[in-house]
Amino acid sequence: MAKYLLLKHYRGAPAAVNDVPMDRWTPAEISAHVQYMNDFAARLEETGEFVGSQALAPEGTFVRYDGEGRPPVTDGPFAETKDLVAGWMIIDVDSYERALELAGELSAAPGAGGKPIHEWLEVRPFLTAPPTITQ
């Protein structure tokens, strides 16, 4: 019973094995990819392990406080930022091994040529609630 974030990067992860930009895939390959992702989420809901998922737009803005009575300062997007998150899925599973197994399956989503992308996903555990008994 632990939650994990499966993090997909636009940038910042090592290169995938089948590393072809999506706009070079055929429309049918894109459809197959989307279908795979939907099926994967549906399957996780069925196993009682799905918590949520979200895709993010590639462009973001940095914002910070600029002092009392002043509007926040915005900056960016920064083209040089190394890490760019594309989206995530949150799962609730019984073990770390199960989290790895599912990330592996998600990474097998089909891409160019209908072959698995073998994309690198980052698996990050959630910090939990503190246990009552620690002594």
Partner 1 sequence: MNGPLRVDEVLLRSLTPSVLGILVRRGADFAAAEDAMQDALVEAVRVWPTAPPRDPKGWLVTVAWRRFLDATRADTARRRREDLFDDEPAPGPAPAVDDTLQLYFLCSHPSLTPSSAVALTLRAVGGLTTRQIAHAYLVPEATMAQRISRAKRTVASVRFDQPGDVATVLRVLYLVFNEGYSGDVDLAAEAIRLTRQLTAVIDHPEVAGLLALMLLHHARRAARTTPDGSLVPLAEQDRRRWDTESIAEGVEILQAALARDRLGEFQAQAAIAALHADAPTAGETDWVQIVEWYDELARLTDSPVVRLNRAVAVGQADGPRAGLAALATLDDSLPRHTAVAAYLHERDGDQATAAQLYAEAAHKAPNLAERDHLTRQAARLNARRHH
Q: Which residues are at the interface with partner 1 (CB under 8 A)?
A: 1, 3, 44-52, 92-94, 125, 127-135
Enter the tokens of residue 90: 């949150």
Compare residues 61 and 132 and give the one whose CB is closer to partner 1: 132
Measured distance CA(36)–CA(33) in Å, rounded: 5
DSSP character for 14? P
CB of 55 to partner 1, least distance (A): 18
Nearest alpha-carbon partner for 91 in 55, 25, 44: 44
DSSP character for 124? E
Compare residues 47 and 74 and give the one whose CB is closer to partner 1: 47
Compare residues 39 and 94 and give the one whose CB is closer to partner 1: 94
CB of 43 to partner 1, least distance (A): 10
